[in-house]
Amino acid sequence: MRNKPVVIGVAGGSGSGKTSVTKAIYDFFQGHSIAMIEQDYYYRDQRDIPYEERLETNYDHPLAFDNDLLIEHIKTLQKREPIEKPVYDYTVHTRGDRTIPVEPKDVIILEGILVLEDERLRNLMDIKLYVDTDSDLRIIRRLLRDINERGRTIDSVVDQYINVVRPMHNQFIEPTKRYADIIIPEGGQNHVAIDLMVTKIQTILEQKSIV
Ligand code: CTP
């Protein structure tokens, strides 16, 4: 019987660099045994809701996520059983029919704006990180990404940022910083923080006698 996997939560505002931090850790453990779970893929299923209505959804509110399914999946992976991860399409604002099989791994990285907001999720984590990046950098990154990768216009990104993303960040995301074990300034560019994380994960894996 193998030990429970190490679960690492990576939270932070939109455009903070969660993906770069997560990728840096992921790349280090390549060839080892590591799985990546994006909270974004667990936005509530909106396939039955017309496209126009999906545009009105508040995607920065905790209730936008199907955390019950996410928690069930993390617990399943902790039992060393496989899951079928949903696949989310930002251009149409919902998941598709396709799922991705994820095999159980020694390290599970759970990344998303609100992964530290739900106490049940926090209780599943061995390490909690918050990527802390200034809001001017975050909006610039978000603007470029949403236009280039998520099929948005400048006007829609600016409107969504001012009316939804910013107030929700202040109300729900920023306060979760207090739950973090480690606050990482400037995300993926912070090589010292990433090296420390990698060392810590290795120590936990050794303690759990996985490596
Ligand atoms: N979002 C959206 N439309 C959807 C679903 C989500 O605009 N249909 C937006 C939400 O407004 C939320 C953001 O997606 O703010 C969450 O993704 P984000 O954290 O920006 O992306 P990551 O790549 O996960 O993180 P980072 O930029 O920190 O690397």
Nearest CA to ligand 1 atom 17: 14
Give the whole-angstrom CA distance, residue 197 versus residue 86: 28
Nearest CA to ligand 1 atom 20: 14
Residue 99 scores a pLDDT above 90: yes
- 40 vs 205, more confident: 40
pLDDT of residue 29: 85
User: CB atoms < 10 A from the CB of 51, how many?
Assistant: 10
By CB neighbour count within 10 A (0-12 exposed, 13-18 middle, 19+ buried), where does 23 fall? Answer: middle
Residue 75 scores a pLDDT above 60: yes
What's the whole-number mean pLDDT along residues 189-205?
87
pLDDT of residue 3: 79
Q: How much of the chain exceeds pLDDT 90, in percent? A: 79
Give the whole-angstrom CA distance, residue 42 versus residue 88: 8
Domain residue spans of the chain: 6-207
The full DSSP string for 31-48 is TS-EEEEEGGGGBPP-TT
Is residue 9 within 6 Å of ligand 1 at its C-beta?
Answer: no
What ipTM is given for this predicted complex? 0.95
Q: Which two tokens stand for residue 115?
A: 């992964």
Q: Label residue 59 by pLDDT band (50, 70, 90).
A: very high
Give the whole-angstrom CA distance, residue 46 versus residue 92: 10
Q: Is 13 annotated as a binding residue?
A: yes
Residue 188 scores a pLDDT above 90: no
Architecture of domain 6-207: 3-Layer(aba) Sandwich (3.40)
Atom of ligand 1 nearest to the CA of 168: 15
Q: Label residue 1 by pLDDT band (50, 70, 90).
A: very low
Q: Is 9 annotated as a binding residue?
A: no
